Chains A and B, each alone.
Chain A
């Protein structure tokens, strides 16, 4: 066990150095490929003054995508991204249905049928100083 010949020692050193180079190279590669240049998507949307959304209205905001509900309980927003794999859900008479894998939600975003297993995400809506409603997706 102690008799490591000069040749074997050299070979061991060289091979481990080459392996280390390769490992560092792979590490660098991961960092190279992991770079993100694109800016993060917006998390705040200005959706205009509150009077655009009268009582008992349900307004689809397709660019977010979300639905703004104004009822007796007040203003609230629900994300229209399916909690299963993120497709935008469509309105049905019972509520919403996902066109991709047929998850169903009721009119308030409660899950009715899988494969999704969570309710739709509730989004924060607030009226800011500029007098407009702002919707926050985070």
Chain B
């Protein structure tokens, strides 16, 4: 397999030429597939006016108009069922086009059915099976220009129908039937996107007064993307990365600081590092990018926050992907950081000059917990209501400074407009900026402290070193693999969202804390909120922070191995802390699963 040297220059030009061809191809693909115009639902400027007089009233039943309505076969089951419910229950009064009980609509019925009030079925002496329609009551139109104005969106309409319709027997419709009817009415109103299943998690995004652009199905594009990335990952694995020759710019920069010409192979050994630190950096980058993208659509105002999230997840092309990526990266970051912390303590790597970096890492842990909590609150839906109230009220219990801290976080006497704005600013700016600074400092210190803790050169069993090319290659590989996993998870499992918090919010709610604070929720059941909700978690942090200062540490020649003898006490302490958290979390979950 030795190539003659004279050939070396020719393949190069060939490669560049092919690259050019590929680039051209890619641009064509990009232009033709991705820049496709988003088809829009026809806005509904002129639905048939409600008062259109039928020139010649038919004397008997207009059977055609009383037929079961026809729904395009490619639409959702929900809409089809809705048309039947509407036909059976609503249409007699609200009309076949949603025009309400107009004279024109009454004419569609047989003569004998037009005098309902005089024969008594809907009059004041109605028989038991009949029901009363007061003569002065106008039966409103449910579709048409300027109709349904009292309802902002499909969620409002559904809630009203569920609570008040049918008029003669409110509450007769099930929740599901109400959604079906809502979907059908909105299709009469010409604002319902096709192939769109209404539910509590997307109905607030569907307006009643103007149509939203028809959402497209992202899944095929997403699968293609994931597939291509997977192939690229296979390609990366198949290459022998160690022989890669990536050109670096002459002038050294921060990237060179992180990737010295060579590092000991021991420092890049997966079974020692678990790859957790690098993975955390990658997840932070994903969070940063997806977070910026979410900011383009998120509206930090109580009435709009949850609605804008529903818009992102159910209407914006690839919006669900972006949000799911952000959500799952945040969850994964919590786990990966915990693993990283455990690795550092259980290998005693935080000792001596590395203890500052250990504290920086701990600081990032706090920042990530706060970022997770503020990000969770930004949903501003029914799911976060109690976590928000409990979380902020906990601040109040802190002696002396509690009320000031509450002011700082909430910005008012109770969670409201200004608190959402504050949480937003904390989340996207202050905490994120702190995170960027600490993360940069942390990875800078890793190299400054001599890289990942391994034995001194003479005591190493394996003295091989790997090049920076190899290191970068491995990093790219891990990023691609993690990226594929994230893409898969984000395609399959949507991030949670519930109905927006409104004035008329109902009494169904989820009072469970986000999973990473379940242990605090469990502790809070024990009694005094300050003691268990603030002091106890702070004690955890203090214990972790004093490890490198007050407890015995490893010595230099114990570096680079799991469970060294030198810091046994610290290891035991951390394992106990970890187990406590896990048990508390399980306790918080178990009672409800037993029910």
Q: Is the CB of B315 within 8 A of A11?
A: no
Q: Is the CB of A17 within 8 A of B318?
A: no
Given contacts A24-B225, A25-B225, is CB(A17)–CB(B231) below 8 Å?
Answer: yes
Query: Interface code A1-42, partner B: CB below 8 Å = 1, 0 otherwise?
Result: 101111110111111111111011111111111111101100
Q: Is the CB of A3 within 8 A of B10?
A: yes
**Contact of B38 with A by CB under 8 A:** yes
Q: Taking the nearest CB of chain B, how far is it from the CB of A25, in angstroms?
A: 7
Q: State which residues 26-69 of A face B: CB under 8 Å.
A: 26-37, 39-40, 44
Query: Interface code B92-120, partner A: CB below 8 Å = 1, 0 otherwise?
Result: 00000000000000000000000000000
Q: Taking the nearest CB of chain B, how far is it from the CB of A26, in angstroms?
A: 7
Residues from chain A with a CB closer than 8 A to the CB of B35 are 27, 30-31
* Nearest B residue to A35, CB-CB: B316
Q: Is the CB of A39 within 8 A of B210?
A: yes
Q: Is the CB of B228 within 8 A of A24?
A: yes
**Contact of B326 with A by CB under 8 A:** no
Interface residues of B toward A: which range?
Answer: 35 or more
**Contact of B363 with A by CB under 8 A:** no
Q: Taking the nearest CB of chain B, how far is it from the CB of A137, in angstroms?
A: 13
Grouping DSSP codes into helix (H, G, I), strand (E, B) and loop, the B interface class, with mixed when no group exceeds half, is: helix
Residues from chain A with a CB closer than 8 A to the CB of B38 are 31, 34-35
Contact of A10 among B19, B209, B235, B311 (CB under 8 A): B235
Given contacts A7-B243, A19-B23, A35-B315, is CB(A30)–CB(B15) below 8 Å?
Answer: no
Contact of B228 among A7, A21, A40 (CB under 8 A): A21
- Interface stretch among B25-33, B76-84, B182-190? B25-33
* Nearest B residue to A39, CB-CB: B210
Q: Taking the nearest CB of chain A, how far is it from the CB of B128, in angstroms?
A: 44
Interface residues of A toward B: which range?
Answer: 35 or more
Q: Is the CB of B19 within 8 A of A16?
A: yes
Residues from chain B with a CB closer than 8 A to the CB of A7 are 239-240, 243
* Nearest A residue to B216, CB-CB: A31
Q: Is the CB of B11 within 8 A of A5?
A: yes
Residues from chain B with a CB closer than 8 A to the CB of A37 are 205, 212-213, 297, 311, 315-316
**Contact of B3 with A by CB under 8 A:** yes
**Contact of B138 with A by CB under 8 A:** no
Q: Taking the nearest CB of chain B, how far is it from the CB of A23, in angstroms?
A: 4
* Nearest B residue to A130, CB-CB: B49
Q: Is the CB of A32 within 8 A of B10?
A: no
**Contact of B7 with A by CB under 8 A:** yes
Given contacts A14-B236, A28-B225, is CB(A39)–CB(B30) below 8 Å?
Answer: no
Residues from chain A with a CB closer than 8 A to the CB of B43 are 39-40
* Nearest B residue to A5, CB-CB: B3
Per the bound structure, the CA–CA distance linking A44 and B146 in Å amounts to 14
Contact of A17 among B1, B212, B232, B317 (CB under 8 A): B232
Per the bound structure, the CA–CA distance linking A65 and B274 in Å amounts to 65
Contact of A35 among B27, B213, B231, B232 (CB under 8 A): B213
Residues from chain B with a CB closer than 8 A to the CB of A18 are 229, 232, 480
Q: Taking the nearest CB of chain B, how far is it from the CB of A33, in angstroms?
A: 6
Per the bound structure, the CA–CA distance linking A8 and B316 in Å amounts to 40
Q: Taking the nearest CB of chain A, how far is it from the CB of B153, in angstroms?
A: 12
Per the bound structure, the CA–CA distance linking A24 and B311 in Å amounts to 23
Per the bound structure, the CA–CA distance linking A119 and B300 in Å amounts to 42
Per the bound structure, the CA–CA distance linking A53 and B224 in Å amounts to 61
Q: State which residues 426-474 of B face A: CB under 8 Å.
A: none
Q: Taking the nearest CB of chain B, how far is it from the CB of A81, in angstroms?
A: 22
Per the bound structure, the CA–CA distance linking A32 and B11 in Å amounts to 39
Q: Is the CB of A23 within 8 A of B316?
A: no
Per the bound structure, the CA–CA distance linking A76 and B136 in Å amounts to 43
Q: Is the CB of A23 within 8 A of B27?
A: yes
Given contacts A5-B3, A8-B11, A28-B225, is CB(A23)–CB(B30) below 8 Å?
Answer: yes
Residues from chain B with a CB closer than 8 A to the CB of A40 are 43, 210
Q: Taking the nearest CB of chain B, how far is it from the CB of A14, in angstroms?
A: 3
The 9 tightest CB contacts between A and B, nearest first, are: A27-B34, A14-B235, A39-B210, A17-B232, A23-B26, A31-B317, A35-B316, A16-B22, A27-B30
Residues of A whose CB lies within 8 Å of any CB of B are: 1, 3-8, 10-21, 23-37, 39-40, 44
Q: What are 23 A-B residue pairs whose CB atoms fall within 8 Å in the complex?
A: A7-B239, A14-B238, A14-B239, A16-B22, A17-B235, A21-B225, A23-B30, A24-B30, A24-B221, A24-B224, A27-B34, A27-B35, A28-B317, A29-B293, A30-B35, A31-B318, A32-B316, A32-B317, A32-B318, A35-B38, A37-B213, A37-B297, A40-B210
Told that A26-B34, A44-B45 touch, could you supply 19 new A-B pairs with CB distance under 8 A?
A: A3-B3, A3-B10, A5-B11, A8-B15, A12-B15, A12-B19, A14-B236, A14-B238, A19-B23, A23-B27, A24-B34, A27-B30, A30-B34, A31-B318, A32-B316, A37-B311, A37-B316, A39-B209, A39-B211
